[in-house]
Chain A
Amino acid sequence: MNYPKIVKILEVKKETDNIRTIKFEYPGKMIPGQFFMIWIPDVDEIPMSASYIEKNVKGITFKKVGDATNALFGLKSGDKIGVRGPYGNGFKITGKKILFVGGGAGIAMIAPAVEEAINKNISSDVILGVKNKNEIFFEKRLKKCGAKIHISTDDGSKEYKGLASDLAIAFLVTEKFDSVLTCGPEIMMKKLLDLSVNIPFQASLERYMKCGIGICGQCCVGKGLRVCEDGPVFDGKTLKKVEDFGVFKRDAAGKKIKF
């Protein structure tokens, strides 16, 4: 049933000054890229992709951006939240060599996908795109699992100076990848789609959600594609036909907001 299960927070971990991970007991299988609806009682309920997928424990990693994430930021271990899901389709992780591109908070949900790729013996290059070196997270975790990590910072404070999509160009022209998997700012993902000519492409989209179960219509893009139910991961072929992609999203009232 799609009803929130009340769980106790097991662990809160500081990733950067404004990024935290919360882990909670939530047994069951899930696919990297799938998400939960996280209920912070008296505040809000928001969609969040899993950043940790273990047999009995799941985790979410988030940046302070609004009322809900601000409230989540203040929670301690032992506090209660409501969790329903997992929802959505998740990434299809296949092939011999994958280029992952995580931008900002999008890195959170890319991490379990990278770990699964490595488990499947898929060679994984991961671009972590952030504003500056203080915002990098999951670098050690992903290096440890065996992925090749490349960092882009807007201000050049670590490794490549510039946008993650620009750094991706260098890889895409010099090496052959079986697919490109990404999550991050939509304009970045749109650029990556345009760059990924003839390479299978998957991107995870973020939209304001209400029901999470495919009925309210709040998160629809293109011709009635529900990000919660038909997504959040869409392939390049589908996204090329979605006129909203990289152009606009809708607010809680359903008004179009340009990216």
Chain B
Amino acid sequence: MKIASLKLKNPTILASGIMDEDSGSMERVFNSGASAVVTKSIGIKAREGYPNPTVLELEYGILNAIGLPNPGINNFKDEIVKLKNLKIPVIGSVFGSDVEEFLKLSKTMQEYGTDALELNMSCPHAKGYGLEIGSDPDLVKEITSKVKKSTKIPVFVKISPNLTNLVEIAKSAENGNADAIVAINTVKAMKIDLELKMPVLSNKIGGYSGKAIKPIGVRCVYEIAENVDIPVIGVGGITTGEDALEYIMAGASAVQIGSGVYYRGIDIFKKVCDEMKNWMKKHGYTKLSELIGVAHK
């Protein structure tokens, strides 16, 4: 299968932010069945992120405010080069505070050898980045189209569920010539500890992922697919093949898995693929493409 020119051996991709800060981790995930890996979001300068606590498991999902830690684009070359020497498909995730930063990061990622780009316009908990950019339709279009013009590899735009103008933003990315939309990022959330009477995350507000957000992701993908003609990559709360198929039926052409690594281990990619195949066999389908968007009637 293919998303733009990115060839994938199966529909499961490692989502950004999970086991993707160094090449060794991404190599392990690829060898555990993922068809491609998305790197941790990389910015211009090294960034430590927030102090701990940064990750909490709650009853139905995982809450995090890591704060975009990354070694900076100049320190990330080795990681990409190592993966490319092993012929592992890599999608470089980048976050910038303006058009110029996105351009510089995207061009550098391409130079390092990434197979595609994912523009992070949806991190819900970093001031001046992510969602703060990704909620402005004009900015989304401008960044996407400028990155498209100055690079040759497929450009994906990752958008947020924390938007009242979700469809408008998706259309802006499409109008900026994005090759695909990735939806969703985490859902803005908070946990307060009763005993200490304070938010547990050091950043107070974080992003919720895992099982609880799957219906939100499926709804977003459905709405986006209804309104744009470019492929959608579904992400949010997928832990089983059935979850992935739900996203496919909503209109996704492929899926990403992140928190699922916690629920089912690093080999979740293989498990999900096997479960998808079993379901399809049982229901008489031979090609995944027959199921993409079937829920739209």
A binding-site residues for B, Cβ under 8 Å: 1-4, 6, 37, 39, 41-46, 80, 82, 209-218, 220-226, 250-256
Contact = CB atoms under 8 A, between A and B. Distances in A.
Interface in B3-26: 17-22, 24-26
A155 B62 CA distance: 49
B56 A3 contact: yes
Main secondary structure of the interface of B (DSSP, over half): loop
Contact of A217 (B40, B47, B56, B58): B40
Interface size bucket, B side?
A: 35 or more
A68 to B, nearest CB: 8
Nearest to A47: B52
A225 B56 CA distance: 21
Contacts, number: 131
7 contacts: A44-B51, A216-B17, A216-B66, A220-B25, A253-B46, A253-B70, A254-B69
Interface in B166-208: 191, 193, 195-196, 198, 200, 202
Contacts of B212: none
B259 A215 contact: yes
Nearest to A255: B71
Main secondary structure of the interface of A (DSSP, over half): loop
Given A43-B51, A45-B54, A212-B55, 19 more contacts: A3-B57, A4-B193, A37-B52, A39-B53, A209-B52, A210-B49, A210-B55, A210-B66, A210-B69, A213-B55, A215-B18, A215-B55, A215-B261, A216-B19, A216-B64, A217-B25, A218-B69, A225-B24, A253-B69
Contact of A220 (B22, B62, B196): B22
B29 interface: yes
Contact of B196 (A37, A41, A224, A252): A41
B24 A224 contact: yes
A46 to B, nearest CB: 7
B93 to A, nearest CB: 13
Given A250-B21, A253-B70, A224 B28 contact: yes
Contacts of A224: 19, 24-29, 266
Contacts of B193: 4, 6, 82
A80 B195 contact: yes
Given A220-B19, A220-B24, A4 B71 contact: no
Nearest to A210: B54
A223 B19 CA distance: 11
Of A37, A80, A250, A254, most buried by chain B (CB within 10 Å of CB) is: A254
A222 B71 contact: no
Of B29, B56, B198, most buried by chain A (CB within 10 Å of CB) is: B56
Contact of B195 (A6, A46, A222): A6
Contact of A253 (B17, B49, B191, B258): B49
A96 to B, nearest CB: 35
Contacts of B22: 217, 220, 250, 254
Contacts of B58: 1, 3
A38 to B, nearest CB: 10
A226 B55 CA distance: 16
B13 to A, nearest CB: 16
A2 B18 contact: no
B279 interface: no
A4 B202 CA distance: 13
Given A6-B193, A220-B21, A224-B29, A254 B57 contact: no
Given A3-B57, A39-B53, A253-B69, A214 B261 contact: yes
A154 to B, nearest CB: 32
B75 interface: yes
